[in-house]
């Protein structure tokens, strides 16, 4: 299995180095061979090559079976020409690889329940939701769009549009993901108001015919947002469009309360998937061996599960993370008051 590694900026290189040690260990344990190659993205690529996404990086990613990314950006590039900002590297590689599905699991490890914003009795029911967000269509990309004037006042609009094939392929990703989890999918739309949502719902229902083993339900997005904080345990996989998914995935992440714990996967068709922590480059703690490597380690777990179909290996990493937390290891971002924090390397060691 070939992995293109893009450490990026800030804490990126530190957390990626630790995650690769874990991958190595998994390789040894299960007799799997992983071949890694590194490339530049973000600020470090701007410094070295003048652009946030060099052609060589794209080529290396395309040749790989999966891409593992740290994070990009930092204050030293904040004043740079917006056309070549570090974040452009990230948007660029997502586009180059046609990554239309963004999978963001929000899981609260029971040892970290104190960090959760929800009431303890709700937390006790469990918080383990996977938001599957459509990433390359919908209102963020729909045409026409307008920012101007009409009838003598400021006026603007965007278009929420989906083709059947776009809905079908994201529904497929959600049903497949559910098969590897509890077998439940909730599709979120606004079909009581939006025409595009009625198309969405119709196609999701139609695609579900190929996944009769999966339990499918539907919610309107306003209700879904409420239910997610009222009782997240009712959800497993949530599939939705770009805008609703942006909001719901942040909501789901926020209620777990720990940005340093959350992995993500972005998948395309026929191209390597991209696996990365949801947090940024944390310039405030970069280079100090303080970062929490668990989001990146869990991103490796997602890579094994979704890119290589190595469920057992993926489970093994998740169990290792659980055990490590059980044993009381905490980095600074998740340590409780009065507790003692370990560094990035020590956390990966554990
Ligand atoms: P951030 O996620 O980098 O940091 C927010 C806060 O969380 C900071 O206090 C940071 O120390 C902490 N934090 C983040 N990850 C952590 C970890 N693994 N362990 C311990 N603490 C952690 O977001 P911020 O500060 O808004 O952005 C910093 C830079 O990162 C900016 O240049 C931004 O553009 C970029 N960024 C990059 C992303 C990416 O590469 N996917 C996503 C978000 C921001
Ligand atoms: Mg967002």
pLDDT digits (tens, 9 = 90+) for 23-49: 999 999 999 999 999 999 999 999 999
Q: Which of 65, 140, 220, 231 is catalytic?
A: 140
Nearest of 69, 66, 68, 59 to residue 1 by alpha carbon: 66
Q: Where are the domains of the chain?
A: 1-102+260-350, 117-256
Q: Does domain 117-256 have CATH number 3.40.718.10?
A: yes
Classified by CATH at the fold level, domain 1-102+260-350 comes out as Isopropylmalate Dehydrogenase (3.40.718)
- Quick one: which atom of ligand 1 is closest to the CA of 292? 19
pTM score above 0.80: yes
pLDDT of residue 50: 96
Is 195 a residue of the active site? no
- How many A from CA of 146 to the centre of ligand 1? 32
- How many A from CA of 71 to the centre of ligand 2? 15
pLDDT of residue 13: 98
The helix or strand, by DSSP H or E, that contains position 5, with its residue range, turns out to be strand 2-8
In this chain, the answer to whether the domains covering 1-102+260-350 and 117-256 adopt an identical fold is: yes
Confidence class for position 337, pLDDT limits 50, 70, 90: confident
**Residue list, ligand 1 pocket, CB within 6 Å:** 11, 15, 71-74, 87, 90, 259-260, 279-285, 291-292, 295, 331, 333
SS3 of the chain: helix, strand, coil, percent, to 5: 45, 20, 35
The helix or strand, by DSSP H or E, that contains position 130, with its residue range, turns out to be strand 128-134
Q: What is the pLDDT of residues 151-192, one digit of tens each?
A: 999 999 999 999 999 999 999 999 999 998 999 999 999 999
Please report which ligand is nearest the Cα atom of 253: 2
Mean pLDDT of 259-280: 94
Substitution candidate for ligand 1 out of 17, 249, 256, 280 with most atoms within 8 A of CB: 280
Q: For the chain, count helices (H), then strands (E).
A: 12, 12
């Amino acid at each position: 299995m070939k992995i293109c590694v893009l450490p990026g900026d800030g804490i990126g290189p530190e957390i990626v180095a630790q995650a690769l040690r874990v991958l190595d260990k998994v390789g040894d344990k299960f007799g799997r061979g992983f071949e890694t190659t590194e490339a530049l993205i973000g600020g470090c690529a701007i410094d070295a090559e003048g652009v946030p996404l060099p052609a060589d990086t794209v080529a290396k990613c395309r040749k790989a079976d999966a891409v593992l990314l740290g994070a990009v950006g930092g204050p030293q590039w904040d004043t740079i020409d917006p056309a070549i900002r570090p974040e452009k590297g990230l948007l660029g590689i997502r586009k180059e690889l046609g990554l239309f599905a963004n999978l963001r699991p929000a899981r609260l490890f029971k040892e970290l329940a104190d960090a959760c914003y929800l009431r303890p009795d709700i937390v006790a029911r469990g918080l383990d939701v996977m938001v599957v967000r459509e990433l390359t269509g919908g209102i963020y990309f729909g045409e026409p769009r307008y920012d101007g004037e009409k009838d003598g006042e400021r006026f603007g609009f965007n278009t929420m549009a989906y083709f059947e094939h776009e809905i079908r392929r994201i529904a497929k990703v959600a049903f497949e993901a559910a098969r590897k989890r509890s077998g439940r999918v909730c599709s979120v739309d606004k079909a009581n108001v939006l025409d595009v949502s009625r198309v969405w719902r119709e196609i999701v229902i139609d695609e579900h015919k190929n996944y009769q083993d999966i339990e499918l339900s539907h919610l309107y997005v306003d209700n879904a947002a409420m239910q997610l904080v009222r009782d997240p345990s009712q959800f497993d996989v949530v599939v939705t469009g770009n805008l609703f998914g942006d909001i719901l995935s942040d909501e789901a992440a926020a209620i777990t309360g720990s940005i340093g714990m959350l992995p993500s996967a972005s998948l395309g068709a026929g191209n390597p998937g991209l696996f990365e922590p949801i947090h940024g480059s944390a310039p405030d703690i970069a280079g100090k061996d303080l970062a929490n490597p668990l989001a990146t380690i869990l991103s490796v777990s997602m890579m094994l599960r979704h890119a290589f179909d190595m469920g057992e290996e993926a489970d093994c990493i998740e169990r290792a993370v659980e055990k490590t937390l059980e044993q009381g290891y905490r980095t600074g971002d998740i340590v409780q008051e009065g507790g003692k924090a370990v560094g990035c390397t020590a956390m990966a060691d554990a």
